Amino acid sequence: MDKDAPQDKHSDLNERKAKLLRQGEFYRVGIVHAKAQVKQGMRPEQLFHSALEHATWAVRSRIDGLLKPRGMNVSSVMPYAISIIGFLTRRRLLKPALGVGAAVAALAWYLQRRRAQLVH
């Protein structure tokens, strides 16, 4: 058994050394990958894409928050909205429809504000 002990110790050291070398290689590959990601992320078109994605997400989450109490979400409403927008653009009624929508939104805001003042 005494003869096997130095051999086991030597093989354990070789295994540990191989493991450390593999870990070092994975670490270096991770560093190179992280540098490439940072370089890619700093390109102007990537920055614009990220900003646009963030703005889209913010608008969608806001609309989802407004529709949630009614049991709807953006995904279920979008097909109808796209159909209506397509119809309005074909008939060249988009600008008048936006004006009417803005007027209705202003009226709703005024009525909601007035109701809140009457309650308090």
The parent domain of residue 65 ranges over 4-93
- CA of 39: how far to CAs of 35, 85, 93, in Å? 6, 40, 46
pLDDT at 10: 81
Please report whether residue 107 resides in a domain.
no
Total residue length of the chain: 120
Rg of the chain (C-alpha set) = 31
Average pLDDT score over residue span 15-37 = 95
Please report whether residue 54 resides in a domain.
yes
Residue 5 pLDDT > 90: no
pLDDT at 60: 92
Number of domains in the chain: 1
- DSSP string of 14-76, one letter each residue: HHHHHHHHHHHHHHHHHHHHHHHHHHHHTSHHHHHHHHHHHHHHHHHHHHHHHHGGGT--HHH
User: Which is it for the CA torsion 82, 88, 92, 94, positive or negative?
Assistant: negative
pLDDT at 2: 54
Please report whether residue 117 resides in a domain.
no
Phi, psi of 2 (to 5 degrees): -65, -30
Please report whether residue 69 resides in a domain.
yes
Taking the C-alpha atoms of residue 32 and residue 58, their distance in angstroms, rounded to an integer, is 32
pLDDT at 86: 95
Instruction: State pLDDT tens for residues 51-99.
Output: 999 999 999 999 899 888 888 888 999 999 999 999 999 999 999 999 9
Tokens standing for residue 13: 């050291």
Instruction: State pLDDT tens for residues 27-55.
Output: 999 999 999 999 998 999 999 999 999 99
Please report whether residue 19 resides in a domain.
yes
Please report whether residue 59 resides in a domain.
yes
pTM of the model: 0.48
